[in-house]
């Protein structure tokens, strides 16, 4: 298999010619640009000539030790990563190497796989940090949606195709993935862009009011109706209506919506006269409609009507590489709002962000970054400032906890990340505010 050339420059420092030869051969075969030197003095001169992205250094060498070189790198080349290699492995030695600034600690003899894994982890950390701390904020993807992962590029292609059509679209995705943002992109990328885009949260309007909100009401149609009202469908004439949480519609409302999709007319509450509408319908849900159809909770004919063009938005945990872009974007935005410098993010924080599952997806990430920027003390965000749920806890390895305990802990953590805002916390958790209040009482 042909090697892939990599841009990173690696400096290897060891007084053993055999070790230098082995490391050089393995890393060169992996596609890295490798330079070897036999001691610390030579390493300093090499770094002055060409700064390295990664320094791999032996611990014990004549005159100056590997720890001296690590300190030199940390104080003069803060962006570089360091891996310590030694034949004198010990816990105190490993601790001192880590405290001095080594990324990892390899004991001789090590396997080729162990060497490559250590180098790849160090390079991955370097790339992640450079992406997040880049002085130039990453360019937002088209339509203002951030993401360069393979799955997000597939979403962009779906948006482009859907924008060229007037067919009904069904956007699928977990809570907080950005379904409304995708719907707006479809609208404003279409020939309907000059007409209104009307978003409607089907789960946020009481059942008794939803019909009149969507289709309008004639004067005197119900108690308190003192004038005729125009519904959301008529307000969106010529444009698009976004029906979020469509799975929350009752069966009667599902039947009414099906009639609109089939006949292109609406009936105001209390009115027998149909009114034509030219509106593109974009629906969204975080539930599996096929399952609801099987359970009898969602009309099969309506499902096929709205599922003409399905678009699935991946959860944040599956968008490899997008987290640094989002961190930088949100940090820059919130720092600007607070008129303060954009903070840096410690490596451990970035590691935690990458390892965390993000059940609330992009919305949760946005809230966490906002909290960190607002509460930052100094110019660097460190691990102790993270929400408790994202920090390591030795107690997590103890006795198994009940599902209720885990749920309660997660709810409290999400609520803390929103600064106590129950509405935003409920949105992140994918439940309504009333359900959240009941869980908090419990």
Taking the CA atoms of 48, 50, 53 and 56 in sequence, report the sign of the dihedral they define: negative
Q: Which pLDDT value is given to residue 138?
A: 39
Taking the CA atoms of 58, 60, 62 and 65 in sequence, report the sign of the dihedral they define: positive
Comma-separated ranges of CATH 3.40.50.2300 domains in the chain: 9-133
DSSP 317: G
pLDDT band at 137 (very low <50, low <70, confident <90, very high): very low
Q: What is the mean pLDDT of the chain?
A: 84
Examine the pLDDT at 395 and tell me if it is beyond 50.
no
In the block, tokens 């950390």 appear at 125
φ/ψ of 284, rounded to 5, equals -150, 150
Q: Which of 288, 323, 312 is nearest to 173 (CA)?
A: 312
Examine the pLDDT at 343 and tell me if it is beyond 80.
yes
In whole angstroms, give the CA distance from residue 255 to residue 18. Answer: 77
CATH architecture of 317-441: Orthogonal Bundle (1.10)
Examine the pLDDT at 418 and tell me if it is beyond 80.
no
State whether residue 374 is helix, strand or coil.
helix
pLDDT band at 93 (very low <50, low <70, confident <90, very high): low
Contact 187, 239 (CB under 8 A): yes
Superfamily of domain 150-312: P-loop containing nucleotide triphosphate hydrolases (3.40.50.300)
3-state helix, strand, coil in the chain (%, to 5): 50, 15, 35
List of E strands, 103-184: 104-107, 169-172
What percent of the chain stands above pLDDT 90?
36
Q: Which of 66-70, 91-95, 96-100, 137-141 has the lowest mean pLDDT?
A: 137-141
pLDDT, mean of residues 417-421 = 75
pLDDT, mean of residues 342-355 = 87
Q: Which pLDDT value is given to residue 122?
A: 85
Q: Which pLDDT value is given to residue 136?
A: 44
Contact 29, 10 (CB under 8 A): no
Tokens of 335: 């720092």
pLDDT, mean of residues 60-75 = 84
Examine the pLDDT at 398 and tell me if it is beyond 60.
no
In whole angstroms, give the CA distance from residue 28 to residue 21. Answer: 10
| Assigned CATH topology for domain 9-133 | Rossmann fold (3.40.50)
Q: Which of 342-356, 387-401, 419-433 has the lowest mean pLDDT?
A: 387-401
CB count in 10 Å sphere of residue 318: 12
For 270-307, give the DSSP string: T--SEEE---EEEEEESS-HHHHHHTTSS-HHHHHHH-
pLDDT band at 107 (very low <50, low <70, confident <90, very high): confident
Tokens of 196: 């209104």
| The 104-107 sheet, strands edge to edge | 33-37, 9-13, 54-58, 81-86, 104-107
Contact 402, 387 (CB under 8 A): no
Examine the pLDDT at 12 and tell me if it is beyond 90.
yes
Tokens of 125: 């950390």
Comma-separated ranges of CATH 1.10.8.60 domains in the chain: 317-441
- Of the ranges 19-33, 84-98, 108-122, 263-277, which is most confident? 19-33
pLDDT band at 103 (very low <50, low <70, confident <90, very high): low
Q: Which pLDDT value is given to residue 202?
A: 92
Alpha-helical segments (H) within 134-286 = 150-163, 179-188, 207-215, 232-235, 251-263
pLDDT, mean of residues 394-419 = 65
Examine the pLDDT at 35 and tell me if it is beyond 90.
yes
Q: Which pLDDT value is given to residue 258?
A: 95
Q: Which pLDDT value is given to residue 402?
A: 60
More reliable by pLDDT, 109 or 373: 373
Examine the pLDDT at 132 and tell me if it is beyond 70.
no
What percent of the chain stands above pLDDT 70?
86
Examine the pLDDT at 63 and tell me if it is beyond 60.
yes
Does residue 416 have a cis peptide bond before it, meaning omega lies within 30 degrees of 0? no
Taking the CA atoms of 407, 409, 410 and 415 in sequence, report the sign of the dihedral they define: positive
Q: Which of 106, 99, 131, 96 is nearest to 27 (CA)?
A: 106
pLDDT, mean of residues 191-202 = 92
Tokens of 146: 């951030």
pLDDT, mean of residues 307-328 = 91
Q: Which pLDDT value is given to residue 173?
A: 93
pLDDT, mean of residues 352-365 = 88
Tokens of 232: 């959301």
Could you read off the pLDDT of 278-308 as tens digits, one per residue? Answer: 999 999 999 999 999 999 999 999 999 999 9
pLDDT band at 237 (very low <50, low <70, confident <90, very high): very high
Q: Which pLDDT value is given to residue 89?
A: 53
Buried b (16+ CB within 10 A) or exposed e, 175-193: bbbbbbebbbbbbbbbebe
pLDDT band at 423 (very low <50, low <70, confident <90, very high): confident
Q: Which pLDDT value is given to residue 99?
A: 58
What Cα–Cα distance (Å) separates residue 261 from each residue in 100, 234, 245, 282, 388?
Answer: 66, 14, 17, 11, 47
Examine the pLDDT at 33 and tell me if it is beyond 70.
yes
């Amino acid at each position: 298999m042909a090697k892939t050339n990599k841009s990173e420059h690696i400096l290897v420092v060891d007084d053993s010619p055999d070790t230098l030869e082995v490391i050089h051969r393995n890393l060169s075969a992996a596609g890295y640009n490798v330079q070897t030197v036999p001691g610390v003095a030579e390493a300093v001169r090499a770094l002055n000539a060409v700064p390295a992205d990664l320094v791999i250094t032996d611990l014990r060498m004549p005159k100056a030790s590997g720890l001296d070189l690590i300190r030199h790198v940390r104080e003069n080349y803060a962006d570089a990563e360091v891996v310590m290699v030694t034949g004198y492995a010990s816990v105190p030695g490993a601790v001192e190497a880590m405290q001095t600034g080594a990324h990892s600690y390899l004991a001789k003899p090590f396997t080729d796989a162990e060497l490559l894994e250590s180098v790849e982890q160090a390079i991955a950390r370097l790339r992640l940090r450079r992406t997040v701390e880049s002085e130039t904020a990453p360019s937002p993807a088209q339509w203002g949606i951030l993401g360069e992962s393979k799955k997000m590029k597939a979403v962009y292609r779906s948006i482009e195709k859907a924008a060229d059509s007037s067919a009904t679209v069904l956007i699928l995705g977990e809570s907080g993935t950005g379904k409304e943002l995708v719907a707006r992109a479809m609208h404003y990328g279409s020939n309907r862009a000059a007409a209104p885009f009307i978003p409607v949260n089907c789960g946020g309007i009481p059942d008794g009011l939803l019909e009149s909100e969507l289709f309008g009401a004639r004067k005197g149609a119900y108690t308190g109706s003192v004038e005729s009202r125009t519904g959301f469908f008529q307000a969106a004439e010529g444009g698009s209506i976004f029906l979020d949480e469509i799975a929350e519609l009752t069966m009667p409302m599902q039947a009414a919506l099906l009639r609109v999709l089939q006949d292109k007319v609406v009936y105001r509450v209390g009115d027998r006269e149909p009114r034509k509408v030219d509106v593109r319908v974009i629906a969204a849900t975080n539930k599996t409609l096929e399952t609801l159809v099987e359970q009898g909770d969602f009309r099969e004919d309506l499902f096929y009507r709205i599922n003409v063009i399905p678009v699935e938005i991946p959860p944040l945990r599956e968008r490899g590489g997008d987290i640094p872009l989002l961190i930088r974007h949100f940090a820059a935005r919130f720092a600007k709002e607070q008129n303060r410098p954009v903070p840096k993010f410690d490596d451990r924080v970035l590691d935690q962000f990458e390892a965390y599952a993000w059940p609330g997806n992009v919305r949760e990430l946005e809230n966490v970054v906002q909290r960190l920027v607002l509460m930052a003390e100094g110019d660097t965000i460190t691990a102790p400032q993270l929400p408790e749920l994202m920090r390591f806890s030795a107690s997590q390895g103890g006795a198994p906890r009940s599902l209720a305990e885990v749920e309660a802990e997660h709810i409290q953590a999400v609520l803390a990340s929103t600064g106590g805002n129950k509405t935003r916390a409920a949105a992140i958790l994918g439940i309504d505010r009333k359900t959240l209040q009941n869980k908090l009482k419990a």
